[in-house]
Amino acid sequence: MRQNQNGFSLLEMIVATALTSLIGVWSATTWVQQSEDAASQAMGRWLLTVKDSVDKMLIRQADFLVGLSSANQSQEAYQDVWRPTLSELIRAGHLSASFSLRPPLGYDLSIRVLKPVGKCLTLGCKVEVFTIATPQASQYEQSGQVTRIGKIMSSLDGHGATVTPLSPQWIRGPNLQLANPPSPDMTSLPIGSIVLHSFHDSSAQVSFLRQGEKRDVHLGANLDLAGRLTAKGNIVAAGRVAASGHLQLGAIGRPGEPCDEGGLLAQSSAGGLLVCQGGVWQKSANGSGGQYIERAGFPCHLRDGVDIERRNPMTGDCTCPEGYKPYLISVWRFPFWSYNEFQTFQCVN
């Protein structure tokens, strides 16, 4: 009598093993592709965040980049504002402190600010910035794959462009087409490179004044200031200069010494006002240099029992200021000391 046999035949085992292997290979390939797609999408989002920080930097630094204002404290965050780094963008507050400096895929990042084009100081001009991600040597093969390029580009919301194997001489994207390299002073970008373009037009702000303004300012009406006006250079007026308060001169000259330009005014080192005439400081007009009283036998500063001030208020002594000469204008004697004679002198020039 024949017994029933249980189990699988050899053929059945071979078929089952083959199917299991195929399913395993298919699953592994799918998992690898899904991981690659996720990394590519993360790469695009990472680049988009960098571009957003570059846009903010461009707005803040636009006045300096186009030459409308001088450098200020905001430039201190950058070693070279024309080539900012991620660390500098974080330090400037355009990226969060926790932002990863390492991209999700093996790419090197560089940021290039191009020199402005146009009449920046009068009509305004444009400033362009390229954020460039170039694949590392280990990524050359994968970076040219259509699937990777497609995933990265789809994550950039139309802001990016890339170098493809079909046209390596061009950098193309939905809204951007540039020659490769994008600037004459740059080398050609390898296949798979990603380029994001930032742009700023300064024409809308060119009519406004700003701190550190470097242009000549022309106003067609009055300028009223509530505070103090300080000028480090010359103030030139085509009309009259009027002051409701005192006019204070800080420059000091000496009569007879050379001066720079006719019509200049200065204080005299000995008191009074000097005018530059013929290249020489001269006294503005004949005038009084004060007066003093001498009493024989007594020093000038001693009151000697007589309640009068004998010193010249302009020198603090019984002398005349520089450039003035004493002229005797009176001689008198005090009744009680008739043997002492008082002489009054007037200082004139």
Q: Specify if 240 maps to a domain.
A: no
293 and 268 within one domain: no
Tell me the mean pLDDT in the region 68-96: 84
Check whether residue 185 and residue 304 sit in a common domain: no
Which residue range(s) make up the domain with 52? 15-204
Average pLDDT over residues 148-161: 86
Of the residues 283, 303, 332, which one is the last residue of a structural domain? 283
Q: How confident is the model over 97-144, as pLDDT tens digits?
A: 999 999 998 899 999 999 888 887 777 888 899 999 999 988 887 777
Same domain for 95 and 108: yes
Alpha helices in the chain (DSSP H): 10-65, 86-91, 140-143, 146-155
Do 256 and 155 share a structural domain? no
**Is the same domain home to 92 and 168?**
yes
> Which position has the higher pLDDT, 74 or 257?
257
**83 domain residue, yes or no:** yes
3-state secondary structure 161-214: EEEECCEEEEEECCCCEEECCCCCCCCCCCCCCEEEEEEEEHHHCCCCCCCCEC
Q: Are residues 152 and 256 in the same domain?
A: no
How far are the Cα atoms of 238, 289, 311, 327 from residue 349, in angstroms, in the given order? Answer: 34, 8, 19, 10
Distance CA(50)–CA(47), nearest Å, equals 5
- How many structural domains are present in the chain? 3
User: Are both 99 and 172 inside the same structural domain?
Assistant: yes
* Alpha-carbon span 137 to 139, nearest angstrom: 5
Going along 71-125, which residue ranges are E strands?
107-113
The two beta strands, 288-295 and 107-113, are unpaired
H/E/C letters for each residue in 232-244? CCCCCCCCCCCCC
Are 192 and 162 spatial neighbours (Cβ–Cβ below 8 Å)? yes
For 173-182, how does the pLDDT look when each residue is reduced to its tens digit (9 = 90+)? 888 899 999 9
Q: pLDDT tens-digit profile of 232-289?
A: 888 887 777 777 777 777 788 888 788 888 778 888 877 677 888 778 887 766 567 7
pLDDT at 61: 87
Together in a domain, 73 and 163: yes
What tokens were used for 113?
């600010």
Q: Are residues 169 and 277 in the same domain?
A: no
> What is the distance between the alpha carbons of residues 251 and 203, in angstroms, rounded to a whole number?
43
Q: What is the mean pLDDT of the chain?
A: 80
